[in-house]
Amino acid sequence: MRGLKAAFAIVVLAGLPYAATAEDGFLSEIKLGALAHDVPLLASRDERGLDFNVEALFTSPAALAALGAPRPHVGASINGSGDTSQAYAGLTWEWQPFEAPLWGAFSFGGAVHDGERENVREDRKALGSRVLFRLGAEIGYDVSESVRMSVLWDHISNAGLAEENEGLNNFGIRLGYRF
């Protein structure tokens, strides 16, 4: 788990200089949150605890315009009870269909985790492979031009590509700051 934390810290710290110069448009938003770990939705609940979540979203590059201009993201969910933690990256599509400050988002990408791949402990998920797919869905409210609150559900699994595929779901709240 230390290696996972160190890798994510390097990614985040590498992007911090861009946060100070938001006019260049590189860093779009930072989100922090608390997630209930391994909620029993689409899978059994074997692990426990609370995850601390941090995510950086970047401005969508012109090359992604044909895909609906999703924003690239990197993030991590660190489990406070010593169960499975993950670092992830992917793309986030966001919609604000009304003039109200309500919005929704969907994300897709990959994750690496420090959990079990095989069923060796009853209190841990057997995730099948070290690298997994990650899906996320989020509903939020813009408190101000820069501050946002949201509810997030995310899921990691290998989509049945490995023999073991218990999947892991997290659900919680996040606070975002847009640059």
Handedness of CA 1, 37, 35, 136 (dihedral sign): positive
| pLDDT recorded at residue 123 | 82
CB distance 129 to 139 below 8 Å: no
Which amino acid, one-letter code, is at 74? V
pLDDT in tens, the chain (179 residues): 555 555 555 555 555 544 444 456 799 999 999 999 999 876 667 899 999 999 999 999 999 999 999 999 999 999 999 999 999 999 999 999 888 899 999 999 999 999 999 987 778 888 999 999 999 999 999 999 999 999 999 999 999 999 998 899 999 999 999 99
| pLDDT recorded at residue 79 | 96
Domains defined for the chain, CATH in brackets? 2-178 (2.40.160.20)
Distance CA 132, CA 64 (A): 23
Distance CA 143, CA 148 (A): 5
| Strands in the chain per DSSP E | 27-37, 50-58, 71-79, 86-95, 102-113, 131-142, 147-157, 168-178
| pLDDT recorded at residue 18 | 46
**pTM here?**
0.85
Residue in 63, 83, 79 with CA at minimum distance from that of residue 71: 63
Instruction: Supply 118's token pair.
Output: 């095989």
